[in-house]
């Protein structure tokens, strides 16, 4: 939002989600399983010692929460509106690909300054309203509605709750990350990440929209595939 307000060349580099949690051989997701186990602790189903063991297993690395909460939703939307390099929002914080993405961002921002490509050159009313469909398809955080409206406002674009309401019936799929699904952000990354997800929605998106990569969204997601884990 600060970059949009200043309207200087900028690239957003997401922090990335944590690795998925592990407790007694079970996969855990922060922000969802923590409440389940807290209720179990309050009910006396698990002991204080078991709670502490679960705590150490649920946060295995640095990064944002590994569910499709506010952080992962907003980084996905930042990529969707073209303010990150392709795939940046899906990389787990502890993955070596994150450091490579940071290097790529460092190189690209120098070029971006020379090109004088600014956030408001990328954000358009049609683009922002269109990306509401992506939020719905991801099954993203309800907090993102507030934040996306605020982002649009920084660019002088009018976005309202009515825009979300009009597009909710046109959702083209559904994300499978908690709290609305079973797979975590690490799984989402292995499955192809946001580029693959957007490729599946390509018929509903403005393929010619510019991004900070210097290319169009269509070019950024060209060839992106969904992979199945074995």
Task: Answer for the pair 31, 65: CB distance below 8 angstroms, yes or no.
Answer: yes
What's the whole-model pTM score?
A: 0.87
> What is the sign of the dihedral through the CA atoms of 182, 188, 194 and 198?
negative
pLDDT at 230: 43
Strand partners, 27: 22
Number of H helices, E strands in the chain: 12, 2
% of the chain with per-residue pLDDT over 70: 93
pLDDT at 175: 55
Q: Name residues whose C-beta falls within 8 Å of residue 212's C-beta, 6 or more positions apart in sequence.
A: 10, 11, 82, 83, 84, 85, 108, 112, 117, 122
Confidence of residue 136 (pLDDT cuts 50, 70, 90): confident
Using alpha carbons, list the distances in angstroms from residue 26 to 20, 21, 33, 58, 200.
Answer: 10, 8, 11, 10, 30
Question: Tens of pLDDT along 75-109?
Answer: 999 999 999 999 999 999 999 999 999 999 999 99
Query: CA torsion sign, 39 to 186 to 90 to 97?
Result: positive
Q: Is the peptide bond before 179 cis (omega within 30 degrees of 0)?
A: yes
Q: What is the pLDDT of residues 5-43, one digit of tens each?
A: 999 999 999 999 999 999 888 898 887 788 889 999 999
Q: Tens digits of per-residue pLDDT, 45-76?
A: 999 999 999 988 998 899 999 988 899 999 99
Report how far residue 117's alpha carbon sits from residue 69's, in angstroms, rounded to the nearest whole number.
30
Lowest-confidence region among 122-126, 162-166, 188-192: 162-166
Contact, 144 vs 135, CB < 8 A?
Answer: yes
Beta bridge partners of 28: 21
pLDDT over 80 (residue 171): no
């Amino acid at each position: 939002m600060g970059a949009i307000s200043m309207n200087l060349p900028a690239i957003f580099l997401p922090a990335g989600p944590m690795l998925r949690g592990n407790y007694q051989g079970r996969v855990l997701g922060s922000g969802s399983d923590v409440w389940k186990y807290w209720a179990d602790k309050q009910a006396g189903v698990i002991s204080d010692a078991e709670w502490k063991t679960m705590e150490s297993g649920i946060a295995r690395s640095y990064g944002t929460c590994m569910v499709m909460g506010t952080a992962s939703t907003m980084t996905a939307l930042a990529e969707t509106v073209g303010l990150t390099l392709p795939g940046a929002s899906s990389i787990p914080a502890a993955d070596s690909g994150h450091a490579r993405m940071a290097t790529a961002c460092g190189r690209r921002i120098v070029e971006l300054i020379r090109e004088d490509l600014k956030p408001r050159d990328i954000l358009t009313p049609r683009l922002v309203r269109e990306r509401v469909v992506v939020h719905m398809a991801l099954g993203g955080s309800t907090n993102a509605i507030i934040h996306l409206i605020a982002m649009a406002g920084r660019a002088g674009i009018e976005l309202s709750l009515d825009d979300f309401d009009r597009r909710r019936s046109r959702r083209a799929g559904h994300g499978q990350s908690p709290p609305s699904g079973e797979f975590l952000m690490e799984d989402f990354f292995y499955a192809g990440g946001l580029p693959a997800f957007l490729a599946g929605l390509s018929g509903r998106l403005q393929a010619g929209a510019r991004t900070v990569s210097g290319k169009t969204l269509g070019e950024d997601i060209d060839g992106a595939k969904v992979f199945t884990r074995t």
